[in-house]
Structure 1
Amino acid sequence: MLAVHQVSRTFQNGKAGFENINLQLQRGEVVGVLGTSGCGKSTFLRVLSGLDPQFEGSIRTEAERPEEAFGMMFQEPRLMPWLTVMDNVTFGFSKKQKKSEALDLIETVGLQGFEKHYPKDLSGGMAQRAAIARSLLSQPDILLLDEPFSALDAFTKMQLQDLLLSIWEKRRTTTLLVTHDIDEALYLCDRIVIMRGQPGQIASEIFINRSKPRKRGDHRLAELKEEILKELDFTKS
């Protein structure tokens, strides 16, 4: 579905960003990107989404509409405070044409009955649910998630992880998830890419041979977590 070949985007005279990224995503695959701060994870998503066109290398997709292939969800909901939930979800589209799909998504993310509420009336988790619905309305071939639950409390985060997983089970949208949360990556992803350095490069990949949904206390996931921590130099081998 996605092929990234020797893609680089650097700043500060080559000291920040990422370089020489080679990555392929298969249709329906959920791939996590882990790495310490400053290794270029979020910059990589901005390049893929088209928000940052100043890169070197090639990016190819199998999407029928390459210019509309990607959907993006950020760390913050980024809802417009003067618009209702419905208007935020359908922003950029003809609400008349997308109303039925938007209502279905609003129901899917658990916001039925809040269509006419404004962002000030929503909790942080509810706002992120609205952002999930908005990112899916365009039916993207590839969904890009930039630490979407990092600002939420642990309980709400787990609820939204389960929500995201249930949506994936229905739609099988190819997904690239940037996160600092190792447990989140192990719970949601089929494969984890670990980035290191400044500028960042892919240091290793870990495959998670466990069917989804998974048990959060799975002993194999705990073993993989130790392996990832070693890769990131947080434990001694």
Structure 2
Amino acid sequence: MGALHRGHLSLIARAKQECDLVICSIFVNPTQFNDPKDLEKYPRPIEADIAKLEQAGCDILFNPDVTEMYAGNEQWHLDIGELEHLLEGKSRPGHYQGVTQVVYKLFSIVEPDKAYFGQKDFQQVLVINRMVEMLKMPVQVVMCPIERESDGLAMSSRNVHLTANDRERALILSKTLNQVKNNFSSTDINTLKQLAETAVSIEPGVLLDYFEIADAETLHPANQNTTNIVALVAARVGATRLIDNMIIR
């Protein structure tokens, strides 16, 4: 959606290693916002983005406007099951319908062999994979690791909205995820989750939305026997909502 940072550029770099032609789309998609104010204030520094893409060696930029992507009153609904209503889906009703709608359009227009997405939007990657399977689209979805600032903060286009104090307080998210990972083998999951929720909740200026230690395939709460586990957190830091996650095993 633009406001490119090193996290986005790492996707370009990975694509350049594995593909002959690299296309980046920039499109602030209105159907995935359930808060009009959030849509309005989403950063759109297109000239700076173009310069970054040129420097990164991206071959093509697809930067359509809304009228190019959507007819007047399009209807879309893809039944992706409970994945749509857990965690981010519960906090942002309708969000993943907007995501699948626009990504389906992008895949249909560009017809990529591979599509690269960041792990920071972990649930989004699961949703897109589900859509690709359901609609039998000939594209391989590749999830790339989270890029972090030197102090651990996950890179996000929304970070520009953080005040200096908010920026400091936001570090509680990555710190807590690290604590869960480091103590996972010695502490039971329920205790880890309670400690994590408390740590985020007591940080001044931070309002916890959710902290979940989940099965990385279903996003159901994990137990000690779950094979693949991810910890996910969402919180409002000042006026800015941030998400982060960490693969535990």
Q: Which has the higher strand share?
A: 1
Q: Which has the higher helix share?
A: 2
Relative contact order (C-alpha < 8 Å, sep 6+): which is higher?
A: 1
Tell whether the structures are fold-level matches, with TM greater than 0.5.
Answer: no
